[in-house]
Structure 1
Amino acid sequence: MNKTIEILKNRRSYRDFDENHVITKEDLQEILDAARQAPSWMNGQFYSIIVIQEKKLREQLVKWNPGNPHMLKSSVFLLFIGDLHRTKMVSTAHESVYPINESIEPILLATTDAALALENAVIATESLGLGSVVVGSIRKNGKEISQLLELPEYTFPLFGLSFGKPTVEMKVKPRLPEPAVVHYDRYHPYAYTLIEQYNQTMEAFGEARETKRWSQKFSDYFATEPIILTEQLLKFQHLLK
């Protein structure tokens, strides 16, 4: 099998890292360079990456998000932010208007670009024999994080990435049945039994941190008011009216 495809198909999340393992500056730079080379809409690169090095900053992140202690214990923690501040500077320099509060499109662009950069970083990390885990729940404290890290106007935290040397081996997590995800030429309806099948697959997988069936977890999630306060954060950052 092609080595890159092998890495992609065997990727899994690690949450336990060797606290004493130090990643070389060269390896960190390789990961950052790989992230920055990700595809980007019109080459706009509507994101920034913050390498969180100070221990006190990482401790504060864990205080806000105690379910993710690896943000402190991993060798490196990266924060990916949607960055529309840069293009605001461009608009100012060109003396043009910047009406990004009139559409959700700029936020989608920034989020997509950041996600592509994040995935490049994940695969680069895996290729170096390291492990990683994506942290989306940082958005619960997006406003506080923005203040802590002195993020400028028109930026917003999206997700983090902890990586280092894993101390606990993890199994590759099963994905939804292919017919529920991959369609050819047009969207093809499928029976709900595929989702029930996936419920059974995940129960057999037996991930300890999962306390609900897959379908129940997302039924509950979308039935309640979101706790990921992206909209409120964007209002705070003056992106939405």
Structure 2
Amino acid sequence: MNETLELLKNRRSFRDFDEEYVLPKEELQEILDAARQAPSWMNGQFYSIIVLQDKEIRKQLVEWNPGNPQILKSSVFLIFVADLYRTKMVSAAYESAYQIEESVESLLVATTDAALALENAVIAAESLDLGSVVVGSIRKHGKEISRLLNLPEMTVPLFGLSIGKPIVEMNVKPRLPQAAVIHFEHYQPYTYELIEQYDQTMELFGEARETKRWSQKFSDYFAADATMVTDQLLKMQGLLK
């Protein structure tokens, strides 16, 4: 197996970091450069990355996200933002209409671009013997974070990435059976037994932070009343009618 494949197949999330470790500027720049070279639809690059090293700003983020103390304890925290403000400037320069709120298409493209940049950053960090963990819960406080970071209209914070030197080794988490995820030529029906098998696999894996079976966790999640926080933020930022 070549080094790249080995790196990808052994990726893990790390949440315990050496708080005294200072990430060299050169390595941070390598990670950011790798993120910026991610694939992008039409080379639009519809995202921005906010680099947070300031302790006070990160303390505020932890106050809003107490379940993610690694935001402060890691060497750096990156926030990936769907950014359609840049192309609004382009439309203004050409004096053309900018009707992105008419459809979810532009937001979908921007989210995808940001996610691809995020994954490049994750793998770049791993290649430097660093650890990372993606933090999606920042969306719960997207309004506050947008104000804190002075995000302009047509932008929305999507997810964060803590990067640092791990102090606790983690095992590679099992994934769903291939037959439940990979389909050749067309979508292949499968039985619920595959999900039950995965429940058993994850119970044997025994991750301490998981308090429910995999299936129960998502049954509960999608049964709960929908939160409108993200919808409200998108409307506030001019991305949704």
Shorter-chain TM-score bucket reads over 0.9
1:117 and 2:117 are equivalent in the alignment: yes
CA separation in 2, counterparts of 1:107 and 1:202?
33
Residues 81 and 114 of structure 2 are in contact (CA less than 8 Å); yes or no, is this contact kept in structure 1?
Answer: yes
* Cα pair 1:156 1:233 within 8 Å, conserved: yes
In 1, the alpha carbon distance for the partners of 2:216 and 2:228 equals: 19
SS at match of 2:160: strand
Shift of 1:228: 7.4
- Report what 1:61 is aligned to: 61
Preserved contact between residue 47 and residue 80 of structure 2 (Cα < 8 Å):
yes
User: Could you tell me how far 1:102 is from its partner in structure 2?
Assistant: 0.3
AA aligned to 1:195 is I
Q: How does 1:3-14 map to 2 (within 5 A)?
A: 3-14=3-14
Secondary structure class of the residue paired with 1:17: coil
Counterpart-to-counterpart distance in 1, 2:65 and 2:210? 18
Alpha-carbon shift at residue 53 of structure 1 (Å): 1.8
Between 231-240 and 205-214, the greater mean CA deviation after superposition: 231-240
Q: C-alpha distance in 1, partners of 2:92/2:167?
A: 49
CA distance in 2 between partners of 1:195 and 1:97 (Å): 47
Stretches of structure 1 that go unaligned for 5 or more consecutive residues are none
Residue 33 of structure 1 corresponds to 33
Matched to 2:184, the amino acid is: Y
Q: 8 Å contact 1:137–1:228 — kept in the other structure?
A: no
| Structure 1 residue 127: Cα displacement | 0.2
Question: Structure 1 residue runs of 4+, over 4 Å off?
Answer: none
Which residue in the other structure is 1:226 paired with? 226
2:102 paired residue number: 102
Percent pairwise identity: 75
Contact 2:53 2:75 in 1 (8 A): no
The 5 A counterparts of 1:136-175 are 136-175=136-175
Length-normalised TM-score, structure 1? 0.99
Equivalent residue number for residue 126 of structure 1: 126
Counterpart residue number, 1:16? 16
State the alpha-carbon separation in 1 of the partners of residues 222 and 215 from structure 2: 11
Taking only aligned residues, the RMSD between alpha carbons, in angstroms, comes to 0.8
Q: Does 1:188 align with 2:184?
A: no
* Contact 1:48-1:82 at 8 Å conserved across structures: yes
* Shift in CA distance, 113/228, structure 1 to aligned 2, threshold 3 Å: farther
Q: Deviations over 1:60-109 (max 9, x none)?
A: 00000000000001001000000000000000000000001100001101
SS of alignment partner, residue 191 of structure 1: coil
Which position in structure 2 is the counterpart of 1:210? 210
**Offset at 1:226?**
3.5
CA positional deviation for 1:227: 4.1
Q: Which runs of 5+ in 2 are unaligned?
A: none
Contact 1:139 1:228 in 2 (8 A): no
